[in-house]
A and B are shown apart, each in its own frame.
Chain A
Amino acid sequence: MTSRRDVLKAGAAGALALGFPAIVKAQSAAIKIGHLTPMTGFLGALGVYAVKGIQIAAEEINAAGGVMGRKLDVMSEDSVNPATASTKAQRMFEQDKVDVLMGEINSASAKTIMQVAERNKRLFMQIGARSDELRGSGCNRYTFHVDIPVTVMVNAEGLALLRDGLIKGKRIYSLTSDYLFGHSLSKAAKNFIAANGGTVIGDDLVATDLTDFSPYLLKIRQAKPDFIATNLGGNQVTNFVKQYAEFGLPYPVAGFNLNTADAWAAGEGNLGGIWPTVWHHEIDTPGSKAFVAKYRAKHGQPPENHAWIEYVSLHVMARAMAETKSTDNEKLIAYFEKEPKFDLLKPRQGYFRSWDHQMMQEAYTFTVKPKGQAKDQWDFLQFGPAVPRADQPLEILAPTKEQNACKM
């Protein structure tokens, strides 16, 4: 005989299964996103922004019911260095059974993760590393690149420098970060300077763990250049501009890479010159404003460009999964290669160029506000208009097939 209690139990179980199917399913099969980014070392400060950015996107997506009714489970880990990055990538595919891999800022680590993705025939959305080689000679069909390549940074910055008369006929001294990214930046910068009538009179390599620039500053003073153009990465730029201000040398300084976080860390009064960026928190679109407000409410300061790029990247990935109704990596690759347009919270939408998997998007430059105009410690940067202009195609700043051939 069935007792009253058993009936009750069966009823409750049925009600649970009927009433909350989405929750039951989501808990059993979340979509796993493997996320690797440097959280320590000379790029660690940027990686911390990256983690915060992707978390906000995951919370938003999950609060809206997830993707195909499944929650997103983002596993963020410190990629440390190129060797550890590839070991962790392999482990995430093999043991953690992640559906896709995302992340990275360090070009050398991105390169080793790309090789793991290709070996496993799995998708890697390479978010923040900028070396041309990654989307050129080192490209593969399993990797998509969101951040702008160094050629775009050099072209965006170079056009501004040309306008300010700092290249044509000038003797330029360079400092270059001694790893894949710096070398790539230096190569692109030299091409641009040579093509526009400038001369590079010195280009010194700088170790990534170097903190004291005084020997370089003495060399620069001895060389008496017209202009100093840096190809430094991460917190190297901050150390350099602080010590340049300390020595008070008279030559103008600018460079082809400076992330907003590193500019903030330099502090007002130490930074000058003009610099390129991929996004900034004062972009006047509803999407950017909403993201900045949300980030400020949560973390008490404006987001940096690495927070933004991780945020939009996860949204791009979620949309791809929702539209293909799949996490099947081959289907996702085919989807991205059709060049659908994505909202990047900028005035113009972006798309992955099919032949090199590079996101085409606007870039910007920034300078420093006159003294006394900053409202707080994050407000001393003056952001310029988007390049290319609204009437120009997005691809004009990007490397061409001849400059940066990619064979997949």
Chain B
Amino acid sequence: MQLLFLLEQVVNGLVLGGYYLLIALGLSLIFSVGGVVNLAHGAFYALGAYASLEIARRLGFGAAVALSPVAVALLGVAFERFILRRFYTADPILSLLVTFGLALVAEQAIRMIWGAAPLPASMPQALKGSVILGDFLFSRYRLLLLAIVAMVLTGIWLLLNKTSFGRVVRAGIQRPDMVAALGIRLQPYMTTVVMLGVGMAALAGALFAPIALVHPAMGAEIITVAFVVVVIGGLGSFWGVVLAALLVGVVRGVTIHFVPAAGEASMYVLMFLVLLFRPRGLLGERIEKFE
């Protein structure tokens, strides 16, 4: 019986991991290709949640989940073209400072536009409640979330591995100089990568709005988790991030099952252990330009 309960936590952790994945994958891609640690990534997650509230009020929940990531992704294009682009070859500390500053500006802007108090967000009545499969309890809404994550993940994987776009991006991660020598400009690719990454973060925000609080600091809260996932997974590895996100979800769930107070700390312990034995992360690749 105890084993069954534990298994239920593991499965639930996998579902939660899917949500972490949406945020972490974009963060990892932007770093791998551009060499920029985007501390403003959480701000786009928050903007996605707030935009979804505004859209849901006018056009309904479905439209909010579909349109909010698109709107924020367009904002991401502007972010890449006017700000991020200037820092690809600069001292990494500069891009850290700029994106950190932007995260603060975005949080304060949200506070000024929507107020500091958390906003209520609800899911459609039809999505509430849970489904019991075998002995396992699933929230209906989270199953939908999982399906969306799986679709997005498949799309990104196909894009990176089965298209010429993906080949250039992967080459750009390993040997940007070689790509340039072949006469390919990486900048338009980078714009697209940022757009996709930021769009995924906004999608996570829109999907999580009805579950958790929509408040100005939500971006700052999630960015830490996203970083932990990226560090555990290893840079440049698609499957590393997937594995790490699911692992963090499972470890957190199982820890809460046995030692509730240590639930939030568990992911940092996991990161510590992984870094101790695999400093490059679980599936991290050796990337020459960062060595």
Contact = CB atoms under 8 A, between A and B. Distances in A.
Interface string A23-48: 00000000000000001110011001
A205 B255 CA distance: 12
Interface in B106-129: 115-123, 125, 128-129
Given A45-B215, A207-B263, A210-B264, A264 B120 contact: yes
A391 interface: no
Interface in B186-231: 210-213, 215, 217, 221
B205 to A, nearest CB: 12
Nearest to A242: B211
Interface stretch (B4-12, B91-99, B147-155, B282-290): B4-12
Interface stretch (A149-157, A218-226, A323-331): A218-226
A48 B115 CA distance: 9
B260 interface: yes
A214 B16 contact: yes
A267 B121 contact: yes
A284 interface: no
Contacts of A246: 123, 128, 139, 141-142, 210-211
Indicate the size class of the contact surface on chain B: 35 or more
Contact of A218 (B9, B120, B221, B252): B9
Nearest to A210: B264
Contacts of B260: 204-206, 216
A266 interface: yes
A219 B117 contact: no
Interface string A253-296: 00000000110111111100000000000000000000000000
A239 B252 CA distance: 17
A15 interface: no
A86 to B, nearest CB: 22
B256 A216 contact: yes
Contacts of A268: 120
B118 A45 contact: yes
Contact of B5 (A214, A222, A242, A249): A222
Contacts of A211: 212-213, 221
Contacts of A221: 137
* Residue from the set B8, B117, B121, B257 with the largest chain A CB neighbour count within 10 Å: B117
A377 B129 CA distance: 23
Nearest to A175: B260
A238 interface: yes
Contacts of B176: none
A248 interface: yes
Nearest to B265: A207
Contacts of B213: 211, 235, 238-239, 242, 265
A243 interface: yes
A215 B117 contact: no
B65 to A, nearest CB: 15
B221 A214 contact: no
A13 interface: no
A49 B13 CA distance: 36
B116 A48 contact: yes
B261 A205 contact: yes
Contacts of B117: 45, 48-49, 261, 264-265
A212 B215 contact: no
Contacts of A264: 117, 120
A268 B130 CA distance: 20
B261 A218 contact: no
A127 B212 CA distance: 28
Contacts of A118: none
B261 A215 contact: no
6 contacts: A44-B215, A205-B261, A238-B213, A242-B212, A245-B128, A268-B120
Given A219-B257, A247-B139, A270-B122, 19 more contacts: A39-B116, A48-B117, A49-B117, A205-B260, A209-B221, A211-B221, A214-B139, A214-B142, A214-B253, A218-B9, A221-B137, A246-B123, A247-B130, A248-B130, A264-B117, A265-B120, A267-B120, A269-B122, A377-B120
